[in-house]
């Protein structure tokens, strides 16, 4: 028995989902690290502007702190990718476009209010005190443009039920791979000090696991002989 991945046939949808995952994976990654590393893992996000014109921050250590931000962001991103890959109807694609519009709009507003004071650090991959506009904005703009194009195409086409969405053997195999990879990531992330080689290996394993998870959630088809 052989199988095929039907999303390959719709390149615009596939690339759009990859872009949305790239911009939204921060919530999933930080949530997983909080669960796997515990209170020793520190995280923070920009959330707005205070009356003193300084950044408002949501932060935490492990699952303690403003974890509602992580839970909400991770749930929305995973649900959108799951729903759009299995049944990309007008409702789901509109929700996808709405999410990327909200993300980009919030980023533009923050950048306009705080300017060059808006800085980002990703120490594990060697980026420290980098301009928000250079590292965060381009992926958000790309994701918004792709979802806008996908939305226009979806509105102009007749309703499409989407690919076969049954759960079959490749879904199970990818899910098992995701669980194994997540376990390996947990071991790596808890080796050595934060932002060290163990963290870098753990993040790589985590993204491989997340890729396997997305493949598990996506539709697969049995290929006719």
pLDDT digits (tens, 9 = 90+) for 102-152: 999 988 888 887 777 676 666 666 656 677 777 788 999 999 999 999 999
Rounded Cα distance between 219 and 170, Å, is: 9
- CA dist 29 and 68 (Å) reads 15
The yes-or-no verdict on residue 195 having pLDDT over 70 is: no
pLDDT, tens digit, 9 for 90 and up, residues 65-113: 888 988 999 999 999 999 999 888 999 999 999 999 999 998 888 888 7
| Residue 49, token pair as written in the block | 């502007």
Query: In the chain, which residue ranges form alpha helices assigned H by DSSP?
Result: 11-37, 67-86, 90-114, 132-135, 137-156, 169-189, 197-217
Greater model confidence, 173 or 55: 173
3-state class (DSSP) for residue 89: coil
Is 53 exposed, middle or buried, given 0-12, 13-18 or 19+ CB atoms closer than 10 A? exposed
The residue ranking higher by pLDDT, 157 or 100, is 100
Please, what is the average pLDDT of the chain?
Answer: 86
Contact 32, 206 (CB under 8 A): yes
Span 17-42, average pLDDT? 90
Q: Which helix (H) or strand (E) holds 131?
A: strand 127-131
Residue 183 has pLDDT above 60, yes or no: yes
């Amino acid at each position: 028995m052989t199988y095929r991945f039907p999303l390959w046939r719709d390149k615009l949808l596939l690339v759009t989902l990859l872009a949305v995952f790239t911009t939204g994976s921060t919530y999933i990654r930080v949530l997983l690290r909080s669960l796997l590393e515990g209170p020793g893992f520190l995280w923070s996000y920009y959330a707005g502007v205070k009356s003193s014109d300084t950044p408002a921050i949501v932060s935490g250590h492990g699952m303690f702190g403003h974890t509602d931000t992580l839970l909400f962001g991770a749930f929305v991103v995973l649900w959108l990718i799951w729903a759009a890959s299995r049944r990309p109807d007008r409702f789901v694609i509109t929700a996808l476009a709405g999410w990327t519009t909200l993300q980009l709009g919030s980023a533009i507003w923050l950048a306009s209010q705080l300017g060059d004071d808006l800085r980002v650090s990703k120490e594990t991959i060697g980026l420290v005190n980098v301009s928000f506009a250079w590292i965060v904005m381009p992926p958000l703009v790309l994701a918004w443009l792709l979802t806008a194009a996908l939305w226009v195409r979806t509105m102009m086409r007749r309703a499409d039920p989407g690919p076969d969405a049954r759960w079959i053997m490749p879904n199970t195999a990818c899910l098992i791979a995701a669980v194994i990879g997540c376990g390996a990531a947990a071991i790596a992330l808890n080796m050595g000090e934060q932002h060290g080689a163990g963290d870098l290996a753990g993040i790589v394993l985590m993204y491989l696991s997340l890729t396997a998870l997305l493949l598990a959630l996506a539709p697969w088809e049995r290929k006719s002989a």
